[in-house]
Amino acid sequence: MTVASRKTEAENGARPFQKAVPDFSKEQDLAAYERMLTIRRFEEKAGQMYGMGLIGGFCHLYIGQEAVVIGMQMTLKPGDQVITGYRDHGHMLACGMNPKGVMAELTGRTHGYSKGKGGSMHMFSVEKGFYGGHGIVGAPVPIGTGLAFANTYRGNDNVCLTYFGDGAANQGQVYESFNMAELWKLPVVYVIENNRYAMGTAIARSSAETNLSRRGLSFNIPGEQVDGMDVRAVKAAGDKAVAWCRAGKGPYILEMLTYRYRGHSMSDPAKYRTREEVEKVRATHDPIEQARLRIIEKKFASEDQLKKIDAKVRALINEASEFATHDAEPDVSELYTDVYR
């Protein structure tokens, strides 16, 4: 358990992680790179399509945080569950959901994952173990705890990854969930994506204890802070947490120190932080650039081979956006379906 220091350097922007992280194999590094890049390109495209009026309402981009979901997903096995809030596009792609279906949901079309009735914040895939996609801050936490409860009830060794933000960490229901999860030793990893802001509120302005990995202390839940910009560090911490859960030892908290480059949602002018702050993280900690440099340095792939991966990813995303642009709006008869079954 590594919940020692009260104050973290994360508050003033510096990353405390000089410690060595286990290396990835060539396959792992290349796979992680491609998957993170897929999320990045998907989100950039979603941003453009929002700008063109093809996507409506709220649209929360995941750019900058890609290493968190990709690293965590590498720790899962079939039957494990994932749940998160409204900043969910990356989680869905990480779960293996089809970019076409996700993008078509963003544009509110027939072949979106929710037939166009859920939108950016509300998508699900029973098949891929993705349980949403929830618009209410904090609500996924007890729901994820309930998914973990179902694993215990059924006596399997599956684990539920329950993601929430630094802002959500101040919701009362989070602590109600922590209590029950530890009391009943439920297999849930609480992944706190601390991207330093909840809309315009910097963590230090909202949180009496800004080291969120300590938030489980009074429930006896172990927690640790993780460099959420390094996919290898995420995977290593995730492996440990998931193994803890699978062994029946109860919940585990991982505080992912990460950063979102874009505004909270598309309409956020982001005046609560400086352009320089964003640029600095981007220049020094970008999860995808780190992976790219590593791959080149270790000669896992050449610049040319990486360009090919880039082109492949771009093609996949363009295909998704083309599909989502031309797919039909839901038939009016869908208005009344799916209220009950």
Partner 1 sequence: MPTEVLMPALSPTMEKGNLAKWLKREGDAVKSGDVIAEIETDKATMEVEAADEGTLGKILVPEGTHDVAVNTPIAVILGEGEDKSAIKDVKPSQQQKAAESAAPAKAEKAEAKAQETPAPKQEQKPPQAPEAKAASDPDIPEGTEMVTMTMREALRDAMAEEMRRDKDVFVIGEEVAEYQGAYKVTQGLLQEFGAKRVIDTPITEHGFAGLGVGAALAGLKPIVEFMTFNFAMQAMDHLINSAAKTLYMSGGQMGCSIVFRGPNGAAARVAAQHSQDYSAWYSHIPGLKVIAPFTAADAKGLLKAAIRDPNPVMFLENEILYGHSSPVPKLDDFVLPIGKAKIARSGNDVTIVSWSMGMSYALQAAEELAKDGIDAEVIDLRTLRPMDTGTIVASVQKTGRAVTVEEGWQQSGVGAEIAARIMERAFDYLDAPVARVSGRDVPMPYAANLEKLALPSVAEIVEAARAVCYR
Give me the least distance between CB of 320 and partner 1, in Å please.
Answer: 12
Could you tell me where the beta strands, DSSP code E, fall in the chain?
Answer: 81-83, 160-165, 188-194, 197-198, 201-202, 223-227, 252-257
- Side chain identity at 270, as an amino acid letter? A
Give me the least distance between CB of 165 and Mg ion, in Å please.
Answer: 4
**Closest by alpha carbon to 164, among 114, 212, 108, 211?**
212
Q: Report which secondary-structure segment, H or E, holds 179.
A: helix 172-183
Give me the least distance between CB of 232 and partner 1, in Å please.
Answer: 24
27 versus 276: smaller Cβ distance to partner 1: 276
Taking the C-alpha atoms of residue 94 and residue 55, their distance in angstroms, rounded to an integer, is 21
Give me the least distance between CB of 2 and partner 1, in Å please.
Answer: 27
Taking the C-alpha atoms of residue 146 and residue 125, their distance in angstroms, rounded to an integer, is 17
Note whether 6 and 211 are within 8 A (CB): yes
9 versus 319: smaller Cβ distance to partner 1: 319
20 contributes a contact to partner 1 by CB under 8 A: no
146 versus 228: smaller Cβ distance to partner 1: 146
169-198 binders of Mg ion (CB under 5 A) = 195, 198
Alpha carbon distances (Å) from 86 to 38, 161, 301, 328: 19, 15, 35, 24
214 contributes a contact to ligand TPP by CB under 6 A: no
- Give the interface segment with partner 1, choosing from 3-11, 16-24, 28-36, 113-121 (CB under 8 A): 113-121
149-178 binders of ligand TPP (CB under 6 A) = 165-168
Taking the C-alpha atoms of residue 232 and residue 209, their distance in angstroms, rounded to an integer, is 27
Taking the C-alpha atoms of residue 36 and residue 292, their distance in angstroms, rounded to an integer, is 11
**Closest by alpha carbon to 44, among 90, 95, 110, 94?**
90
7 versus 153: smaller Cβ distance to partner 1: 153
Q: How many helices, marked H, and strands, marked E, lie in the chain?
A: 11, 7
Note whether 28 and 301 are within 8 A (CB): no
Choose which of 76, 95, 137, 254 interacts with ligand TPP (CB under 6 A). Answer: 137
68-87 binders of ligand TPP (CB under 6 A) = 87
Q: For 234, list phi and psi in degrees, rounded to 5.
A: -60, -50
**Closest by alpha carbon to 75, among 132, 159, 181?**
159
Q: Report which secondary-structure segment, H or E, holds 70.
A: helix 66-73
- What does 217 interact with, of partner 1, Mg ion, ligand TPP, none (CB < 5 to 8 A by kind)? none
Taking the C-alpha atoms of residue 74 and residue 25, their distance in angstroms, rounded to an integer, is 13
Each residue 144-173 as x (binds Mg ion by CB under 5 A) or -, in order, gives ---------------------xx-------
282-341 binders of ligand TPP (CB under 6 A) = none
295-324 binders of partner 1 (CB under 8 A) = 321-322
Taking the C-alpha atoms of residue 24 and residue 210, their distance in angstroms, rounded to an integer, is 30
84-113 binders of ligand TPP (CB under 6 A) = 87
Choose which of 3, 49, 161, 231 interacts with partner 1 (CB under 8 A). Answer: 49
- What does 290 interact with, of ligand TPP, Mg ion, partner 1, none (CB < 5 to 8 A by kind)? none
Give me the least distance between CB of 139 and ligand TPP, in Å please.
Answer: 7
- Give the interface segment with partner 1, choosing from 133-141, 200-208, 234-242, 250-258 (CB under 8 A): 133-141
Each residue 138-167 as x (binds partner 1 by CB under 8 A) or -, in order, gives -x-xxxxxxxxxxx-x--------------
Q: Which residue ranges make up the site for ligand TPP (CB under 6 A)?
A: 87, 135-137, 165-168, 193, 195, 197-199, 264
Q: Which residue ranges make up the site for Mg ion (CB under 5 A)?
A: 165-166, 195, 198
